Amino acid sequence: MATYYDIFGQKVQYLSSDPANVTEGQVWYNSTSNTAKFEGFLAAGSGTWSTGNNFNTNRSQIGGAGTATSGFIAGGYQQPYPGSTVGLTATEEWDGTNWTTGGSLNTGRADINCAGTETAGLAASGDRHPSPPRTMTENEEYNGTAWTNVNPTQNGHYETASSSVGIQTAATMLGGRSAPPTTRSNFFESYDGTSWTNNTAYPSSYSGANCFGTESSQVAAGGENPGGSVVTDVNEWNGSAWTAGNALPVAKRNGMGSGTLTNGIVAFGAPTPNPSSSSYDGTNWTTEGTVNTPMSSMGSSTSALVGAWGANWNGSISATETFSGIGAVTKTITTS
């Protein structure tokens, strides 16, 4: 195994800018910023949440997807709820710092299953409240400018906004509610960029499960069962079958899931807006930092551990939170 001396030499590197491809343990001096730096690794349990810039239209029960620098939110309701609230068509795009107005959905709704990125997004199914039937099968694709109607979903269900993963051409959605509104479902659909197909059913009938991963490798954590109880159940999908995983530390539904099967996080959620977050390494859950703005019914990013945006269940807000603290990190060396 190569040593630090073999890779980088005996002296600390003297560079005009930070190196592009750093290795854990690497040390260098940045002559432009006059700082000594090193590449470290923060273990599970050290994660923290930071408040980001608000989005432009207050809303709740939104759909959202994307990466740390290329995300979007779509639809939702403006509270008070239920009242005469009508599903929004508004879309906003995230560049890692700010939210800007994007193209409008063709059909206004909330609790939308979203996947993909700002320039290749997906928005499927949802809730048309208050007009019955509330469950919807509408499916739209986004190119970064406009939404286009494409083939519908197999099942009309809602309260699944945190239960979708994947990209525009390889996505899934899980569970949810159907008419009457108290009915929970174990449906599991897959999207190939053209059509939705019913896949191997989820082991239990839940709404509001918190999912993360990819179309062929994902985790579904928590949710609400047919009796109305919020659960800690966890199941993993390998592309063909579901297997049970270790339980969530805190029962929650309608929160956010983000990351991969071996490097993921679940945060926020109901039954009351919940400030807790827990990371997953493919086997075990670790408690992370609490969020600054407890939220539920939200959209979240799909990149590993990069953040979330959402709204309170009983009130529209426009808060954004980002997560950091697990994995490689560049640190400045100080005297303190």
What ranges in the chain are assigned the alpha helix state H? 4-8
Residues whose CB is less than 8 angstroms from the CB of residue 259 and which lie 6 or more positions away in sequence, other chains included: 212, 213, 265, 279, 280, 303, 304, 305
Nearest one of 119, 125, 117 to 172, comparing CA atoms: 125
Model pLDDT, residue 10: 56
Residue 328: CB atoms within 10 Å: 11
**Amino acid sitting at position 183:** T
Model pLDDT, residue 305: 42
Q: How far apart are CA 141 and CA 151, in angstroms?
A: 10
Residues whose CB is less than 8 angstroms from the CB of residue 45 and which lie 6 or more positions away in sequence, other chains included: 279, 286, 287, 288
HEC assignment per residue over 112-171: CEEEEECCEEEEEEEECCCCCCCEEEEEEEECCCCEEECCCCCCCCECCCCCEEEECCEE
Q: How far apart are CA 121 and CA 97, in angstroms?
A: 19
Q: How far apart are CA 114 and CA 72, in angstroms?
A: 9
Would you state the structure tokens that stand for residue 225, as one six-digit string? Answer: 């069962």
Beta bridge partners of 253: 270
Calculate the alpha carbon distances from 141 to 118, 121, 190, 204 in Å. 11, 6, 15, 29
Q: How far apart are CA 156 and CA 322, in angstroms?
A: 31
User: Residue 122, class by beta-carbon neighbours within 10 Å (0-12 exposed, 13-18 middle, 19+ buried)?
Assistant: buried
Q: How far apart are CA 312 and CA 297, in angstroms?
A: 7
Domains of the chain: 4-42 (no CATH), 48-324 (2.120.10.80)
pTM, rounded to two decimals:
0.83
Residues whose CB is less than 8 angstroms from the CB of residue 180 and which lie 6 or more positions away in sequence, other chains included: none
N-to-C CA span, the chain: 33
Written as tens digits, the pLDDT of the chain (336 aa) is 666 555 555 578 888 888 888 877 889 899 998 988 877 666 677 788 888 888 888 887 888 888 878 889 898 887 655 555 678 899 999 888 889 999 999 999 888 899 998 999 999 998 877 667 678 899 999 999 999 999 999 988 777 767 889 999 999 999 888 766 668 889 999 999 999 999 999 999 998 899 999 999 999 999 999 888 999 999 999 999 999 999 999 999 888 888 888 888 898 888 877 888 999 999 999 999 998 887 776 666 555 444 555 555 555 677 788 887 666 667 788 765
Q: How far apart are CA 230 and CA 328, in angstroms?
A: 34
Model pLDDT, residue 304: 45
Q: Which tens digits make up the pLDDT trace of 39-96?
A: 766 667 778 888 888 888 888 788 888 887 888 989 888 765 555 567 889 999 988 8
Would you state the structure tokens that stand for residue 211, as one six-digit string? Answer: 């999912």
**Amino acid sitting at position 137:** T
Q: How far apart are CA 98 and CA 309, in angstroms?
A: 12
Cβ distance 179 to 133 under 8 Å? yes
Q: How far apart are CA 84 and CA 294, in angstroms?
A: 25
Nearest one of 268, 324, 334, 329 to 297, comparing CA atoms: 268
Look-up of token digits 């343990």? 25
Cβ distance 116 to 71 under 8 Å? no
Would you state the structure tokens that stand for residue 305, as one six-digit string? Answer: 């551990």
